[in-house]
Amino acid sequence: MTLPQIIVDLLKLLFDMAVPAAICTMVLAGIALRQEGGVNFQAGGRFQRWALWSVILLTLPQFLSWFAAQGIVMPPQGGNISSPWVVSLETSISGFVSNVVVARLTPVLAAFCVLKAALDAAEGYSPLGSIVAAFFLLSASGTVQLLQSWNSGSEFATTDMLTSAWNFLAGTILPEAAGLAIVGAIFNYARHRSCFLERFGHLEAGPGHGRLMRIGGDPVSLSNGLLNLTNWLGNVIMPTMAGLFAAAAIYRFSKGHPYQHLGYAALASLMCSGLLRVMESFSNQTAWNNPDRYWISVLTLVNWVGNVLLPLYGLAR
């Protein structure tokens, strides 16, 4: 049976709206990421579901081609829409996503995340979750473009895109997060807390943070945003904090109070970038697919602590 032309045009409209819909689901994923913590997410939570929907929408033609290869009749794809009304509807929806959601709504949502970071820091909680969510929201369209570049065009494009996303996360995002973890460890050590990135607090997040996030022009990249944030903290903020830690150590020494941890924190602040490079060199001794890579990295760290740091510590004592 031949479908009416209006039905065919509406089906083509739905296929053409896959990319704008993927941008919207990516924005919803950014909102869900902040609701689930910002630096963490729930297994099977809304962030994962919205991100998965973005991948499915971007690979929808390839996803349906797998069913077509099994003998299931699929609706026609491609071609031009003949109905002027459907064409105008497609233009309106695309314009709404580009001019309203991407250009105006996501910067406002990101600004509220920065405000939330400032309020969290004022209460002594971690502002990092809100800052990461702000970067994710600003990079929603850029993330969709990155996902599109991973489309293999095969029947298994959905799983191929998920595999590429995991490789990008493990090879690009996590090394940048390691720099933030070192900064958090130094701050927690100075505050007599566990040296893990559990509560990255007491950092001032004022209006100036909004100027660090470029709005307009090319799509913002989540990877570049985290990389610039890590560089800014390691090369600008931490040397400044080293001076404050050293001043606090001198003051506590003059009062006869314990001061050693502040002195070590000042030294670690100056060595922040170097510590990250040391950790990077420990983890790059073997190939990425070597199953013993983690064990070799930890073993090298133990050797470095035992043969370098502990003798220096003993000499200082």
State the residue range of the domain holding 174.
5-284
Residue 55 lies in a domain: yes
Is 199's pLDDT higher than 90?
no
The predicted model gives 42-64 an average pLDDT of 87
Residue 309 lies in a domain: no
CA distance 207 to 213: 11
Residue 166 lies in a domain: yes
Is 195's pLDDT higher than 60?
no
Is 162's pLDDT higher than 80?
yes
Residue 299 lies in a domain: no
* pLDDT-derived band at 200, boundaries 50, 70, 90: very low
How many domains in the chain? 1
pLDDT tens digits, 260-279: 778 878 887 887 777 777 77
Helix or strand or coil: residue 98?
Answer: helix
pLDDT of residue 220: 62
CA distance 183 to 120: 18
At which residue do the structure tokens 């602590």 appear? 305
Residue 176 lies in a domain: yes
Among the ranges given (107-111, 155-159, 291-295), the one the predictor scored with the smallest mean pLDDT: 291-295
What would the two tokens of residue 169 be?
């996360």
Residue 35 lies in a domain: yes
pLDDT tens digits, 74-94: 666 666 777 788 788 888 888
Averaging pLDDT over each range in 78-82, 164-168, 297-301, which range is the top one?
164-168
pLDDT tens digits, 31-48: 999 888 877 888 888 998
- In eight-state DSSP terms, residue 4 is P
Residue 291 lies in a domain: no
Is 181's pLDDT higher than 90?
no
Measured CA distances, 9 to 14, 96, 174 (Å)? 9, 20, 44
Measured CA distances, 169 to 58, 153, 172, 175 (Å)? 19, 22, 6, 9
Alpha helices in the chain (DSSP H): 5-16, 18-35, 46-58, 60-69, 84-96, 106-122, 128-138, 140-149, 157-168, 174-190, 208-211, 222-232, 238-254, 260-270, 272-283, 293-304, 310-316
Is 3's pLDDT higher than 50?
yes
pLDDT of residue 26: 92
Taking the CB of residue 62, how many other CB atoms lie within 10 A of it? 18
Sequence-distant (6+) residues with CB within 8 A of 31 are: 109, 133, 137
Residue 278 lies in a domain: yes
pTM for the predicted model, two decimal places: 0.67
Taking alpha carbons only, the member of 116, 132, 127, 113 closest to residue 38 is 132
